[in-house]
Amino acid sequence: MSKNKKQQPHLPPVPRSGAQDRSEQRAAAARLVRDQDKRAKRRTLLIQAGIGATAFIVVVATTVGILANRGSDEPGATPPGLTSDGSVRFGADDATVTIQAVEDFQCPACREFETAFGDLLAQYRDSEDVAVEYRPIAFLDRASTTDYSSRALNASMCVLEDAGPDAWMTMHEALYDQQPPEGGAGLSDDELTRIATDAGAGDVSTCIADRPYDDWAADTTQAVFDEGVTGTPSVFVNGEPVEAAQLEAAVDAALS
């Protein structure tokens, strides 16, 4: 099975502060997302301008090679139960407002976002008028020695297939609670299997080890960046990008 990857901009984590109250956490997470987007755009401009010499040439050459080879691969499995754009959706199809969060399980900024806004998103998931979509991608494999970003995404899809969206949501939260530091091996397959079992899935150890959704993960990641997303987390309300700090206000405005 091919393990197609496409490198994208990424930023270091912001230190967490246990003394922050919920409002301060949300403000800090919003600043993190905003700073990440600015830095990612600057890096993209450097690449487009041809600045950065060898490092960027290697990235471009690798990307071209991956895309060239992808056409000869057999199509990989597609996880069941996703929306047409690859999201896990909670809420009615006809909900007035749809929030979408694009995220990577290896992304420290996504963990900050989950910590600060997870409770608010849970409230929205329980609302009749607001749907919440999680659109997971895997572009941070280079931040580990074992392709952890793709392995974690694949494991979450194994849970979705086996036990449905509620179990996936439980695993989603656990993957951020137990997010490994960058630069290491990440969680092992056995650890991912334990998290999956704790989330309510059956025996998904083979699915986690075989990684049947790797090609899908590469394709959905490429699609997200082709749409103009420059980093994770990225948040949208009814298809419009919003800053994390403005999420609640944007939802209120869309409901009024």
Helices (H), the chain: 22-49, 53-70, 108-125, 148-163, 165-177, 189-199, 205-210, 214-226, 247-255
| pLDDT for res 27 | 60
* pLDDT one-digit tens code per residue, 80-125: 999 999 999 999 999 999 999 999 999 999 999 999 999 999 999 9
Beta pairing partners, 134: 88, 101
pTM: 0.76
CATH code given to domain 22-246: 3.40.30.10
Strand 130-136 to strand 234-237: parallel, antiparallel, or no bridges (unpaired)? unpaired
pLDDT band at 76 (very low <50, low <70, confident <90, very high): confident
CB 1 within 8 A of CB 207: no
What is the structure's pLDDT at 167? 98
Query: Per-residue pLDDT tens for 201-246?
Result: 999 999 999 999 999 999 999 999 999 999 999 999 999 999 999 9
Bridge partners of residue 240, in order along the sequence: 237
Is residue 106 within 8 A of residue 148, CB to CB? The reply is yes
Interacting residues of 85 by C-beta distance below 8 A, sequence separation 6+: 135, 223
Alpha-carbon torsion (123, 124, 126, 132), positive or negative: negative
pLDDT number for residue 58: 30
What are the residue ranges spanned by the domains of the chain? 22-246
Query: How does residue 20 score in pLDDT terms, banded at 50, 70 and 90?
Result: low
